[in-house]
Amino acid sequence: MEPTTPAHNPALRSTLQVDVLITGGGPCGLMLANELGRRGIRCLLVDRKPGTAFNPQANATQARTMEHYRRLGFAHKVRAQGLPADHPTDIAYLTRFAGHELARLRLPTARQATEVIKTMGGSWSAAELPHRVSQKFVEVVLREEAQALPGVELRYGWNLVDFDDDGTQVTARVAPVDGSVPQQTVHAQYMLAADGARSGVRAKFGIEWEGVTGLKRSFMGGRMFAAYLRVPQFYERNANDRAWMYVQVHPQLRSFIMSVDGVSEFAFHTQVPEGVDPDSLGPDDAKRWFARAYGEALEVEVLSTGHWMAGHALVAGALRRGRVFIGGDAAHLFTPTGGLGYNTAVEDAVNLGWKLAAVLRGEAHPALLDSYEAERKPLALRNTGYARGFADSIGLFDAVPELDDDTAAGSAARAAASDYLNGHARREFNIPGVTFGGRYDASPVICHDNTPAPPDAANSYQPSAKPGGRPPHLWLPDGRSLYDLFGFGWTLLVIDAPAVADDAQVQGFTDTASQRQVSLTVVRHASPEVNTQLHALYEAPLVLIRPDHMIAWRGADAREAGAVWDRVLGHSTTAT
């Protein structure tokens, strides 16, 4: 039963004081609640929806996002969601879902993924592989994890009505959607607007989108119709091997469908024909189009329908106004090819979380918060650009009229399509460079060195310890990931071969960290073999790694420690 007095129920107080107010309980807002709550920061999250997403929404959790879930200790819970552990996660291209198969990218099942990654190297040198799972399931895990943290309050069914920032705090008015209790005033030091693509906060600030929108393609360019379906016979009536995602390439209809639960639930999307009002479409259209896409009319239950716009590659002109930060879809809008929107949203929260906590706890200068936009806006531009390229690659590919014909001409057309689509599948879905290769080379809080940055390429990733990027990964002889040794705060990686980092050097760093009350974990491995590998990867005996697992500095001289901390905590913007 809900407590009924203001003393016991914060929702009944007329005013509330928190450190951070989070508007929006999608992946971005929930991830920030997790990052802040684990650092002892009090936050209130409001979302006007009654709960987490009902519709499947995003479908791919990229490997870097899984590494962040691992850092927070719940990657295994996310990997257990969605498809059964042995369900294939292949992506198949077909003339119809049960028709001619044109191409297929075979990928490991969830059960295989955690073992397969230990055998991989090079571009896939990582702690986690991606996971094919609907966002609706991920949000449940993020919500459960956040609400278990002291100091975090999540309120679904609550609306941000308005807010003001007077330069010293944010004062917001929040109210339950059902009007069950009076509006409440919330005082917060900072606010995150993770209020989605139609962000009211961004609109109030008058921040415009930059980039391109309205890109037209025969597929993935224009208004898309989405239907959440239950189709119990989908697999039993389909002679093709099981896949997770089926992309239909047909001259008369282009569509795709993803398995939501590996049993009977699916997320179906097709482009709305020119001249059709998307608001006029409903369950009957979903059944009709699904039957055409599948190749026969199966028993279908329509769980929901809606529409969305493909053809965006947009980034907000600013990601911050005063004490208010903008993240997730409120800050960038993708065409979902490559599956980057939700992942970029999560990384925004990862980037902002430790910085807000460090400033609120007095460990860092408030200027550290300027680096949120300096780091995340270039990443948003980069990622929306990649997604646009993937959308062009599949959306501008035209299916020739004879593609589905059982004739010699049809066979020849399918062979040609097969060549192209097998290549495309790898371009869009084998993207270690996108997920691991994001860098903060223009950041004011990274100690840049003058070594060259690795090439930025979607399909290949070159591990590099140049500050500003993800730390190169290594599996240790005992089966642990190097990342599992890193602290939740800062990490000093000490590498003993061939140059020996002596204890005085290490102490130089730990002393300056404790003077600044910064949590620093020293990671030093005893094995000479491991040290040799680490030295080859990191090319320096001392490496400072941020709480968001980005390299802040590397070097050999702890006398630099004071200047390094000044830079990485926002106290100084001059070069070290």
Residues that bind ligand FAD (CB under 6 A): 23-29, 46-49, 57-60, 135, 159-160, 194-196, 200, 226, 269, 308, 328-329, 336, 339-343, 345
Tell me which residue has tokens 């239907």. Answer: 227
| Residues 202, 206, 207, 208, Cα dihedral to 10° | 110
CB of 345 to ligand FAD, least distance (A): 4
State how far the Cα of 161 lies from the Cα of 140, in Å rounded to an integer: 25
State how far the Cα of 518 lies from the Cα of 562, in Å rounded to an integer: 12
Asked if 560 contacts 570 with a C-beta cutoff of 8 angstroms, the reply is no
CB of 434 to ligand FAD, least distance (A): 11
Name which of 135 and 533 has its Cβ closer to ligand FAD.
135
Asked if 255 contacts 268 with a C-beta cutoff of 8 angstroms, the reply is yes
Name which of 329 and 548 has its Cβ closer to ligand FAD.
329
Name which of 224 and 552 has its Cβ closer to ligand FAD.
224
Name which of 47 and 153 has its Cβ closer to ligand FAD.
47
CB of 215 to ligand FAD, least distance (A): 15
Name which of 59 and 572 has its Cβ closer to ligand FAD.
59
CB of 174 to ligand FAD, least distance (A): 8
Q: Helix, strand, or coil here: 22?
A: strand
CA 46 to mean position of chain CA atoms: 20
Backbone angles phi, psi at 381, to 5 degrees: -65, -45
Rg of the chain in Å (alpha carbons):
25
Name which of 66 and 474 has its Cβ closer to ligand FAD.
66
State how far the Cα of 297 lies from the Cα of 361, in Å rounded to an integer: 60
Structure-token pair, residue 472? 């190169």
Residues in the chain, total: 576
**Other C-beta atoms within 10 Å of 532: how many?**
14
CB of 222 to ligand FAD, least distance (A): 13
CB of 563 to ligand FAD, least distance (A): 36
Q: Which amino acid is at 167?
A: G
CB of 348 to ligand FAD, least distance (A): 8
Name which of 159 and 371 has its Cβ closer to ligand FAD.
159
Name which of 217 and 269 has its Cβ closer to ligand FAD.
269
Q: What residue is closest to ligand FAD based on CB? A: 328
State how far the Cα of 84 lies from the Cα of 111, in Å rounded to an integer: 9
**Other C-beta atoms within 10 Å of 178: how many?**
9
CB of 143 to ligand FAD, least distance (A): 11
E strands along 166-206, which residues?
A: 170-176, 184-193
